[in-house]
Structure 1
Amino acid sequence: MTHHGPTRSIAARSGFWLHRGLARVQGAILILIISLGAPGAVLADTQPPSAPGSLQGIRYSSTAGEILWTAATDDTFVVGYRVVRNGQSLGLRDAQSVYEPALDPGQAYTYRVSAVDRHGNEGAALVVQIAAQRGIRNTGVPAADTGDDGADASADASGGQTGGDSGGDQGSDQGSDTSAGSTGGVADGNLILYRSKKRATLVEGDAEGVSISLSVHRLKADKRAVTLSLVADTERDMLGLRHVFSSKVLASGESRATLNLALDVGVAPLMLHVRHFRIVADDGVSKAEKSLVIDVTPTAAPDVYLLIGQSNMEGYSEVGSRERYPGGQDERVERIRQLNVQPNSPAIFNRDELFTDEAANTKSPIFVPAEDPLHEPRYIGVDGKGATFVGLGLTFAKEASRASTANIYLVPAAWGATGFCANANGNIAWNAAPTSEDFLGGTLLTERALTRLNMTLRETGGVLRGILWHQGGADSNNAGCAATYADNLAKLVRRLRREARVDVRGREARGDEATIPFLLATQSKGDDERGRYSIFHDSKLQVDAAQRSIRSYVAYSDFVNNDDLVPPQYPCGQSSCVHFGADALREQGRRFYAAIQGIWGELGAYHY
């Protein structure tokens, strides 16, 4: 059994035990097992879910299509739907559709969909085909019970052409099929190249990768050494890809080699997509080529984002501005989750050691669907949160979810009226290390943020995708704090990047200059009857300049310009225009995501 996620037993604070396991059994099904009860108790359930109520396959264009289905039923509950495309698993999906933006033109694809309940029971499957021609809608039918994960599904679905996942050159194991010559002919009739697969699925982050067996057949007595290479159709197809030949050069007496491909988890999320390559055999005189198509499946590891700063990151919009209702701008989305944090209160965090105590930082359950205000907890037995104002984090996550197949976990760690500067609460500040400067505060908020982040990375197996910072006001009223703001901010970023728990990207993705995007936002310039904030005094101008020049002293960073988010178009938030209103904060969520996309693009991420 190869594990693809954390398997653990956690004693929940409510007195129940929660057992969660994510595993892939010999590359087959991803199973989620949950049991509630006393330690050691097992709830017997052998009843599988029903088949999905209906299944449709639609071809929208030459390269885009979608399958959609209605919900299955179960005597407990359905945790997800197993989706198989052309015999290759796409994992367990908690949605009821799969959108395919990168289909091969003129190629049909066959899908098998079945429901899985919380005890791992899998129901009957339906199969359907996305046709090769645009505008065609197919209806799913019951799958034949062949046990081959849908490899026979073309006959069940419509009898049309399928995608052909792994068919190799006929006779490649023997190297005797002379009809399987090189693409475009053989240069001088000397070389024929065979490969065991012409199409394969590669899972991002799978260390084993995918292996292709190769065989070179020499037709002439002059058996020269043959050099093997992999050539991508575009430079983009090589991004993040590692490929190794077991023998890069085949000596005159050698004819076989293996090509292994693996795809490291990158700085940015991936979508399902296809990459095109050519395997080339060259003896210096003759050359043979074979095409290779790789279907890339993104890692199942969730995307994690850290939210830090002061009140505008917490969200101090107008009271009553939250639109949580169905269809509202702040509606919950099931695949966007959050750490269920304790409220910011000196009464709760009344000792320094509590800032790094996981139990003191969270409520049970420790993860809940993300809901504004993110920095307020959700209580067991209560549907939703009582406060009715919003921040920017949920809108940001909704934007991010459009370009990721993974769940998203937000880690709220901001605290209002805090910065690097000393304040009435003493050590409740954002410094990276203790300092002798009396105008600067302590390090407790930095340590609390790392505690919450590392807890989330550990428990979810997630990938740290970015750090969002909204702060500045608390350091704008002291000349010493303003003068040292850029230096203190750089130290903070270095520590967060260095001490964040290692995730599936590996140790090379940690360190002072690690490729973890850091984004910040400028302060409000709003004016209304409660006060004017459009004119910055000298210290505030110094902080503002440090924020706008962040790219000059912090690698992989950018800032969000909020100068235009002012009344009357964007009303201010609670207490005064130091706080942004709901519309402005939602717009900032969108701008934060645009900024992180820019950094991902600069880093050469595949989809940006």
Structure 2
Amino acid sequence: MAAPCGRPVHMFLLAGQSNMSGRGELPDVPEEKDERLLVLGSDGTWKTAQHPLHYDKPEKAGVGPGLAFARGVVDFLPAPVGLLPCAFGGSEIRRWLADGDLFKAAVAKVERGRALGGVLRGIIWHQGESNSSSQEDASQYAQRLREALRQLRLACGCADIPIILGELGLEFLAGDSFAFVEVVNEAIIEIGDGEPNTSLVSSAGLRHKGDRLHFCSSSADELGRRYAWRWLEMTGHVNLSLRTLVGSTLDPRLAGRPDASSPQLQVVQGYGTQKLEAPVLD
């Protein structure tokens, strides 16, 4: 499918690992499709978007933040929204550097989308869990992430494209696999706060699906809405009235910067505190 009705497609690259791919529970009943929301399929054509968007690991694919993000921005754009699913479960930051396989695949998808009438409008990113088990990996994460994003912008030919980073799930990630998750998350905050045309969304209050690793469907949707709010804010679509109406809901305090009276890592209500097996990063 080419660009519908000859109109340009406003493209957004979905990058990172499994919490961007989506591992939330799929709905029992298929959701109503919105013909304005497209996804670049595995065959390289535009299709009407629906869960699951990603096909990195089809047997595990579920609900991620991408579709809720698209629903949140489409009414502010004069053309269809096209999602480029590039995240891959369990992927480390090295695979997103310029010589990495996922970096190259993402750039190829941007080029394919452009050939089908697309214009890249932003990148939303959620990655870092796979770099949280080792002190060495965590200590190098900020440098590697900064370089990966710089190279991705250059390779896509968009030096000032908005990039939005998502915090990791500090409220439930625990155990040896995530021993240095706070270090990695602080790097994400540092870059989201400090780099030009780069921003950040909070993971505060988001819940896991029972595995202390992956966002449940409702939290994945909420994360997508937070990404949408931030992109609208970055691109000048948010006025004072809109901020007053919904800003406090979609822009909560960062989980990585809790109130002094709150523990940095807290058990999400409804889940026990017993020791669990280390989750598989997928």
Whether the 8 Å CA contact 2:55–2:61 is kept in 1: the answer is no
1:573 to 209, 214, 217: 209
Secondary structure of 1:542's partner?
helix
* Aligned match of 2:68: 395
1:368 to 47, 52, 63: 47
Letter in 2 for 1:497: R
1:561 to 170, 191, 202: 202
| Identity across matched positions, percent | 28
1:323 deviates by 5.0
Whether the 8 Å CA contact 2:165–2:192 is kept in 1: the answer is no
* Aligned match of 1:302: 9
Q: Structure 2: which 5+ residue stretches go unaligned?
A: 244-282
Deviation per residue, 1:117-158 (Å, 9 max, x gap): xxxxxxxxxxxxxxxxxxxxxxxxxxxxxxxxxxxxxxxxxx
1:520 deviates by 1.1
* Aligned match of 2:217: 582
1:466 deviates by 0.5
Question: Are 1:482 and 2:148 an aligned pair?
Answer: no
Secondary structure of 1:549's partner?
helix
Question: Are 1:455 and 2:112 an aligned pair?
Answer: yes
Structure richer in helix, relative to its length: 2
Secondary structure of 1:464's partner?
strand
Q: Distance in 1 between matches of 2:191 and 2:63?
A: 26
Question: Are 1:321 and 2:22 an aligned pair?
Answer: no
Q: Distance in 2 between matches of 1:581 and 1:389?
A: 9
Secondary structure of 1:579's partner?
coil
Whether the 8 Å CA contact 2:134–2:179 is kept in 1: the answer is no
Q: How many residues are paired up?
A: 240
* Aligned match of 2:79: 406
TM-score (norm 2): 0.75
CA distance 1:335–1:534, shift in 2 (3 Å): farther
* Aligned match of 2:233: 598
1:333 to 28, 31, 34: 34
Letter in 2 for 1:337: L
Question: Are 1:470 and 2:106 an aligned pair?
Answer: no
Whether the 8 Å CA contact 1:519–1:557 is kept in 2: the answer is yes
1:96-115 equivalences under 5 Å are none
Q: Distance in 1 between matches of 2:122 and 2:78?
A: 17
1:253-264 equivalences under 5 Å are none
Whether the 8 Å CA contact 2:23–2:60 is kept in 1: the answer is no
1:322 deviates by 5.8
* Aligned match of 2:186: 545
Higher relative contact order (CA 8 A, sep 6+): 2
2:96 to 427, 430, 433: 430
CA distance 1:558–1:516, shift in 2 (3 Å): same
Structure richer in strand, relative to its length: 1
Secondary structure of 1:410's partner?
strand
Letter in 1 for 2:33: R
Secondary structure of 1:565's partner?
coil
1:334 deviates by 0.7
Question: Are 1:418 and 2:88 an aligned pair?
Answer: no
1:55-134 equivalences under 5 Å are none
CA distance 1:484–1:388, shift in 2 (3 Å): closer
Q: Distance in 2 between matches of 1:520 and 1:308?
A: 10
Letter in 2 for 1:391: G
1:25-44 equivalences under 5 Å are none
Whether the 8 Å CA contact 1:524–1:562 is kept in 2: the answer is yes
Secondary structure of 2:235's partner?
helix
Q: Distance in 2 between matches of 1:594 and 1:368?
A: 25
Letter in 1 for 2:223: Q
* Aligned match of 2:276: none
Deviation per residue, 1:569-605 (Å, 9 max, x gap): xxx226x121000000000110001111222139x9x
* Aligned match of 1:519: 164
Q: Distance in 2 between matches of 1:551 and 1:520?
A: 6
1:548 deviates by 1.3
Letter in 2 for 1:577: R
Whether the 8 Å CA contact 1:307–1:469 is kept in 2: the answer is yes
Q: Distance in 2 between matches of 1:601 and 1:456?
A: 25
Compare CA radii of gyration and give the structure with the larger one. Answer: 1
Secondary structure of 2:206's partner?
coil
CA distance 1:387–1:578, shift in 2 (3 Å): closer
Q: Structure 1: which 5+ residue stretches go unaligned?
A: 1-17, 23-30, 33-299, 326-330, 342-362, 378-384, 422-428, 434-442, 502-509, 567-571
Q: Distance in 1 between matches of 2:205 and 2:176?
A: 14
1:553 deviates by 4.2
CA distance 1:322–1:478, shift in 2 (3 Å): farther
* Aligned match of 1:43: none
TM-score (norm 1): 0.36
| Deviation >3 Å, runs of 4+ | 320-323, 385-388, 532-538
Root-mean-square deviation over aligned CA pairs? 3.1
